[in-house]
Structure 1
Amino acid sequence: MTTEPHADMTPDTPPEPTGPGQASASKRRKIQAPEVAAYWAERRRYLDRIRRVPEIRQRYWRAIGIYLLRRVLWSFGFFPVFIAFWVPFVLSSFNPVVMASDLIPLLENFVNANPEVQANTISTLAIAWGSVGFFFLVFDFVLTPFKSPYQYEADVYMRAWEQLNHDQLPDKV
């Protein structure tokens, strides 16, 4: 992380106050690099400390496992099944009788086909299932990033640290 101030806030030249009550407001808006550095240094120290705690490490690995399991189940379980039933349902104008009457001849043709055609159909369905699942898996990882228990613990600790050091920190760290 960098401790450089925002583009509109310069640490060397404070803005000139235009009125009597604006002197303290301009002082509060100015972010001091040492104060920001102290915040991030304390956060790094705390993260280094809690990485050694076995309970939080166990929670971290459990959270990763649950996160990956949820993403895989949603991507390869729910979405391909939903699309496989939804698309024919839409094509049959939301009429299950029309959908069944359209699918029964296809299923009869599959059962009566030779094993080579059946194997080809099954492999095509497996490729379609995998490609739909992989497509949703990639976007699921992008849209729902992993939330580390370490970061959560550090956020809670830093909120408490900010309250204890409230008078020493700028308004927006």
Structure 2
Amino acid sequence: MSTENAGSSSSTSDFDDSDAPLPPQPAQTPTPQATDVAAYWAERRLYLERIRKVPEMRQRYWRAMAIYLLRRVMWSFGFFPIFLAFWLPLVLASFNPVVMVGDLLPLLHQFVDSNPEVQANTLSTLTIAWFSVGFFFLVFDFVLTPFKSPYQYEADVYMRAWEQLNHDQLPDKV
């Protein structure tokens, strides 16, 4: 390999790095903060494994799950379709209930005077509309209000106490 003056440029063959030694790599030692985080999550995982075996906690979990599902279903299939069924006609009647009833009475008379096939078709359409609105709100209700497990709550409480007890032993956080 030839070297030229400092002022002139050199060719690409002058800088062949295949023979150059690599710089030493620093050892991959975990930082104190990473050690703290690993210890925290290991303790949390162990605690969750222990409390999942407690019958009272399992019972609390299933009770909380049943209440959560019941609330979501009642809101989605009970409140929202009924609210929309009254709110939309009230909005279309410019928030005047007398106009709303005046508009809906002829429709009710027409339904009562119609033959059974038309009544069954109307009722099935209303049922499909009810369930589609309910299902729509149920999906979004599950997304917007996720289930809060009693196991996670208990683990949060335990880990706050664990952090307080181990605060002296852990190095200062950066």
- SS of the equivalent of 2:95 reads coil
1:98-144 C-alpha deviation (Å, 9 max, x unpaired): 01110000000000111111111001100100010000000000000
Q: How many residues align?
A: 146
Counterpart in 2 of 1:143?
144
Counterpart in 2 of 1:112?
113
- Structure 1 residue ranges without an equivalent (≥5): 1-10, 14-29
Counterpart in 2 of 1:62?
63
- Structure 2 residue ranges without an equivalent (≥5): 1-26
Between the aligned partners of 2:171 and 2:94, the Cα distance in structure 1 is 62
Question: CA separation of 1:120/1:169 partners in 2, compared to 1, >3 Å: closer, same or farther?
Answer: farther
Question: CA separation of 1:147/1:170 partners in 2, compared to 1, >3 Å: closer, same or farther?
Answer: farther
Deviant stretches of 4+, over 4 Å: none
Confirm or deny that 1:75 pairs with 2:62.
Answer: no
Residue 32 of structure 1: CA displacement?
A: 2.9
- SS of the equivalent of 1:46 reads helix
Between the aligned partners of 1:92 and 1:156, the Cα distance in structure 2 is 52
Residue 35 of structure 1: CA displacement?
A: 1.9
Residue 169 of structure 1: CA displacement?
A: 5.3
1:124-172 C-alpha deviation (Å, 9 max, x unpaired): 1001000100000000000000000000000000000001111305538
Code of the residue aligned with 1:171 in structure 2: it is K
Residue 31 of structure 1: CA displacement?
A: 5.3
Q: Within 5 Å, which residues of 2 pair with 1:11-160?
A: 32-160=33-161
**TM-score, normalisation: structure 1:** 0.80
Between the aligned partners of 1:63 and 1:81, the Cα distance in structure 2 is 26
Code of the residue aligned with 1:144 in structure 2: it is T
1:77-116 C-alpha deviation (Å, 9 max, x unpaired): 0000000000001111111110111000000000011111
Contact 1:75/1:137 (CA < 8 Å) preserved in 2? yes
Code of the residue aligned with 2:125 in structure 1: it is T
Contact 1:71/1:137 (CA < 8 Å) preserved in 2? yes
Between the aligned partners of 2:82 and 2:165, the Cα distance in structure 1 is 52
Code of the residue aligned with 1:106 in structure 2: it is L
Code of the residue aligned with 2:46 in structure 1: it is R
**TM-score, normalisation: structure 2:** 0.79
Residue 36 of structure 1: CA displacement?
A: 1.2
Between the aligned partners of 2:41 and 2:124, the Cα distance in structure 1 is 53
